[in-house]
Amino acid sequence: MKRVVLFAIAALLVLPLAAGAQETWVRGEVTAVTTSSFTVKTADGAMTFSIDPSTDIVAPGGGTATREAQKLGKEGTTLDKVIKVGDLVEVHYKEAGGKMMATEIRGGIKGAPTTPSEPKKGSSARGAITAVSDSSITVKGKDAEWTFAVDAKSNIIGRGVGTAARAATQKGEPVTATALLKVNDEVTVTFTGKHADEIRLIYSAK
């Protein structure tokens, strides 16, 4: 069953990236959705993506939909219960076997185009943090490891990040990478060129 992550907004910082990421992402408007695939209208035309049990769905209301499904004895909710036609989404995907397989779908996108004619495209890298300091972060994926420099122009977002940022601010401490992230956290880094536009915390290490 698809893993559904509660959508969270947060705040602030971080990083450039090394080469080697295998994913691409695109933003656009959902025009069709089923339990196993969905179509997004982009500047390049319609793009249809497949999903599988490993696809992460990050969307507002995802947690509520999952709990309601579990009350009915189901393992979790399905894509069509969370993502609707007309939603603006960001899709991270890989191309394999002639198909575009979505690895992560983000709903509730803010800052996306008001029309899907100019969606952003870029690349992303996903993995677990193996080292983090106030000036750098190292992420290990399935086939590679990357070290990123921390850049205050980029954003760190994800569940719990806003709370950590506010706690640091209330203590009069700077909001740095070490205040928001830790070793073994799973993250997705979205970047253009060698600059990371965003670090999204997917799963926080216990």
Question: Which residues are CB-neighbours of 50 under 8 A, at least 6 positions away?
Answer: 36, 37, 99, 100, 101, 102
C-beta neighbour count of 82 within 10 angstroms: 24
- At 184 the pLDDT is 94
Banded pLDDT at 65 (limits 50, 70, 90)? low
The residue-averaged pLDDT of 85-92 equals 88
Percent of the chain with pLDDT over 70: 71
Q: What is the pLDDT of residues 150-205, one digit of tens each?
A: 777 777 887 788 888 888 888 888 888 888 999 999 888 777 666 777 788 888 88
Total domains present in the chain: 1
CATH number reported for the structural domain that contains residue 23 in this entry: 2.40.50.320
Q: Is the pTM of this model over 0.75?
A: no
User: Using 50, 70 and 90 to split pLDDT, how confident is the model at 74?
Assistant: low
At 23, is the pLDDT very low, low, confident or very high (cuts 50, 70, 90)? low
Any idea what DSSP says for residue 82? H
The pLDDT tens digits for 96-145 are 888 899 988 888 776 544 333 334 556 777 889 999 988 888 888 877 88
| Residue range 87-100: mean pLDDT, rounded | 86
Question: Which of 4, 205, 182 is closest to 104 using CA atoms?
Answer: 4
Domain span including residue 30: 3-203
Task: For residues 34 and 25, give the distance between their C-alpha atoms in angstroms, rounded to a whole number.
Answer: 20
